[in-house]
Chain A
Amino acid sequence: MDTKQSASDGYYEVLWPRSPRQTKKKTLARRLDTLKGKTIAQFWDFVFSGDKVHEALEFSLKERFPGVRFVSWKEFGNTHGQDERKILEELPARLKALGVDAAISGMGA
C-alpha cells in the first residue's frame, strides 16, 4: 500500500522522478609535455568574439611556445550550428588527418 491516511495530509510512498544516466565516467586524454612544435585546432561557435579570443591566444601561445602551429576555426565551421552533429561525428578522423595534438574550443558565454 503506497497511500494511507495517517494525518490530515495523507501518507505517500513516492518514486524517483529522474531516470538513470546512460553515461559512465570516461578518461581525459593524456596531457602534452609541451606545446612547442605542436599543432592546435581552434574551434568556435561563431559568437561572443571567439575570433578575437582565438587570435589573441594564438599570438600569446606562439610567443611562449616556438613552433606551435594552429588549424583555424575556419577549417571546421560553426561547431554549434546546424551542422554540429555532422561536425562532431567526423571530428576524430579530421583531427587525425590534420595531425592535431591539442584543441581549444570556445565560446561558452
Chain B
Amino acid sequence: MLRVSAVCEEAGIPAATLVSEGFIRQAAMTSVGLGLPGMPVALVPGHPDAQSPEELRSNILEVTTQKVIDCLLKTSALGEIDVEPAERDIVFSGGFDQVNDFFYDSDWTDGLPIVPPTRSKVESFLRWTERKPEDVIGIMLPDRRAATVWSIAVNGVMAGCRPEHMPVLVALVAAMVDPEYGVEHSGNTPGSETLIMLNGPITKQLGFNYTQGVMRDGFRANTAVGRFWRLYLKNVAGFILHKTDKATYGNTFRVVVGENEEVLRELGWPPLSADMGRRAGDNTVTIARYSGGNVIAGVAGSTAKAIMANLADAMIRQYSWQLCFFIGSGTGSLRPLLVLSPILAQTIARDGWTKDHIRQYLFEHSRMPAWKFERYLRDWMNKPLWNLAEQVKLGNIPALFHVSDDPERLVPPVFKPADFMILVTGDPMRTNAYVFAHNGRIGFPVCKPIALPANWDGLMASAPPKAG
C-alpha cells in the first residue's frame, strides 16, 4: 500500500495509506526507503479481520475517516533520512566481545556472535570473484540499499563463510534482487523462509552436504551460506525484526541444501538446475520461499504408483492459506517442491518413470474439492471476487478448474504439471520425502549461475586448510 501511495505522491496526487494498529512502525520504517520518511498514514484501529462488520464500520467512521481527511488536506513535514557511514568505513575497533556487543546493539546480527569483518578478511573474499567491490548487483527494498559486491563480502565474513564461498554468495544476491523473486515481500507476516538449493560440481568441491541430514546445521558450507542469506536480508535489504520484518512467528534461516547429482546421473534424471533452465552440470543456486512443509516419513511401496499415491496426498495437505494469501491467489503462481530421498527416486525410476511422470502424477492426483478451493479463496480471505466458474469464464484460470458444476470435482493447486519442482537429496537409504508449501510471488523460484573466477582451480589449490 505504501508503494502505491509513494507513486501517487510522486505523481503529485496526495495519498492516505490505510494502516492497522500493529503496522504503524513498519510503515514509518518502510517510508524511509521510499524517500518519504514519515509519510502520513491513516490509522485503522485494531486488526480489520478480527472485528465484526459493525465494529469495523464504526471504527472507520469514527477514527479512520478523520485520519484520511488529515492525510489528504493537512500539510505535514516529512522526517529526515539518517546520515550513515560510508560503505568502507571502519565503524568500530575493539576486542571480539566488544565488536560483537557493538554489532548486536546496532542490530546488525542474527543474535549469534559474528566473525569480525576486518578489511583483510573482506579482501580475502574479494579475491574469489572477478566482480569489482563497487559493482552493484541490484537495489533492494525496503531500505533501497545497493547490493554491492563489497557488502556481500562483509556479510559473508560475518556469517562465518570461507573466502571460496564468495562466488556462491554473489550468485545468491543476484537471485535475491531478481524482480521475479520478490525480495520486497520478505518482511511479510507469514514469516516464510527461503530455501537455497545448490547444484553443480561446486557442491562437492566446497564440501556442501547433499546426503544424510542435509537440512540440519553442522556442515560449515551449508550452515554459513544459509546464515549469510538472513544477515544480508537484514543488513542490506533492510528487514529488521520489530521494524520492517513483520513475521508473526518467523523461522531461523534454512541451511543450504545440495542436490545429489550422482544419483540423478545414475537415473538419467536432470538436476533441478536443468529443470530451472540451466545446463545439467552447471553450478547454480535456486531459491524459493516456503512458509513450511512436512517430512513424509516411512513412504512404503516398491512401485512408483504406490509411492506417488502417498506423496500426492501429502502434497495437497500442505496447501490451504497459500492458495489465497496475497500472491498465491489461485493465479497459478505456486511452485510446490517435492524432495525425494535417493532411494525413493531410485524405486520410482525403476518403473521407468521420469521427473515428468512424477509431475504429471502430482498434477492429476494432488487435488482438492472445488468447494474447498473456493472456500479458501473467497470465504476465509475476504476475497469477494472469487468464483472458479467465473474465473474460467473470464479466461483467468484454465478450463480444468470448471469442468462441471459439481462442487466435489477435484482441482489442483497449480495450473500445469511443470509447476511442481523436484529435488533429490537426503539420506540415500531412507524412504522419507519432504514437501514444501510454496508462497507464490512472495518468493518465487529463481535460479542463477555461479560465476567462478578464471583462476578458480589455482585458487582452490592454494586455499588454506579448512578450519571447519
Contact = CB atoms under 8 A, between A and B. Distances in A.
In order of increasing CB-CB distance, the 4 nearest A-B pairs are A106-B18, A9-B96, A12-B116, A108-B19
- For chain B, which range describes its interface: under 10, 10 to 19, 20 to 34, or 35 or more residues? 35 or more
B35 A26 contact: yes
Chain B facing A: main interface SS: mixed
Nearest to B88: A15
Interface stretch (B44-52, B195-203, B361-369): B44-52
A39 B91 CA distance: 50
Interface of B: 1-5, 7-20, 22-23, 26-27, 32-37, 39-42, 44, 47-49, 51, 53, 56-57, 60-61, 64-65, 68-69, 72-76, 78, 80-81, 84-99, 102-103, 108, 116-120, 122, 139, 143-148, 150-151, 154-155, 158, 179, 231, 235-236, 325-327, 329, 331, 333, 381-385, 440-441
Contact of B89 (A15, A30, A74): A15
Interface in A1-39: 2-3, 6-35
Interface of A: 2-3, 6-35, 40-41, 43, 45-53, 56-57, 59-61, 64, 74, 78-82, 84-85, 87-88, 91-92, 95-96, 100-109
B89 A108 contact: no
Given A20-B86, A29-B8, A32-B14, A57 B65 contact: yes
Contacts of A29: 8-15
A84 to B, nearest CB: 7
Nearest to B325: A47
Nearest to B386: A46
Given A31-B14, A31-B73, A109-B49, A17 B1 contact: no
B78 A23 contact: no
30 contacts: A11-B95, A12-B93, A13-B90, A15-B91, A18-B236, A21-B81, A21-B144, A21-B145, A22-B146, A31-B73, A32-B72, A33-B73, A35-B72, A47-B383, A50-B48, A52-B53, A56-B56, A57-B64, A59-B61, A60-B65, A64-B69, A79-B1, A82-B327, A88-B3, A103-B5, A104-B16, A105-B4, A105-B17, A108-B17, A108-B23
